[in-house]
Amino acid sequence: MKKIFYFTACFVLFSYTLQVMANSQISPGIDESKLEASKNEQGLSVNKPEFDTDAFAKKYRKITKDGAVMQALELMQSVNIAKYSYNALMGNNLTTKPFKIEFKNIAEINPEYASFDALGWQKKDTLYIYINEKHRNAPPEAIASLLAHEAIHQDKFPSLNEETYAWTLEAAVWMKLLEQNPAAEKSPSSLVSRENMLKKLFVKGDYTNKYIKKAVYTNPGYKKLPTRSPGFEDENL
């Protein structure tokens, strides 16, 4: 169990940092209690058009049983910018095995993780992504963007460069998917609030990582991370 937890601690830092950002220097975030009624009324009908889960069950059987995740994966496959992450989730990663993805009450793992948007976990040679179950009714575009980020984390060696890359990719995927469905940006989902915050930083930096990098490098949640890690050695990233 200690080994598994060690890997988990490495994977979840980005979620903690984004939560700090939402509560402090960048955005006050969204009051989940005020959104609940709106999400229940609008989440499925407005943000998630009908999706034939059975038609994709075989294709994604090694990754997930959840139709919302399947829909997000299909969106990732539809845009070139998310193809690397999509292929990583499908098995083209350091473990050579598909990720396992599901929605979960993350607080059941540890109450301290209750506010995390997602949690990465490695058990033996398999990578897991647990998405906070409060995001189940988020637009598939937002879930796809989150997964594009998560797919970058494949080992126990996190770094500031890696987080900067993952956050920037998440913002870019979100913006690309909004071209297909602009209405997703107006969803009351707290996951959309996260994506819009990253989009704001990305656009402010003239579509570079300038302000995302600043947010990563100055955030106390990452103060113990090294600058570089395997695959992310470039100081100018």
The secondary structure of residue 229, as a DSSP letter, is B
With DSSP H G I counted as helix, E B as strand and the rest as coil, what are the percentages for the chain, rounded to 5?
Answer: 60, 10, 35
Residue 204 DSSP label? H
At 98-151, the pLDDT tens digits run: 999 999 999 999 999 998 999 988 898 999 999 999 999 999 999 999 999 999
Q: Which stretches of the chain score pLDDT less than 50? A: 1-47
pLDDT for res 36? 37
Domain limits, the chain:
2-222
Q: Give the Cα separation of 227 and 1 in Å (integer).
A: 28
- Write down the pTM of the prediction: 0.80
Dihedral (CA of 127, 208, 173, 37) sign: positive
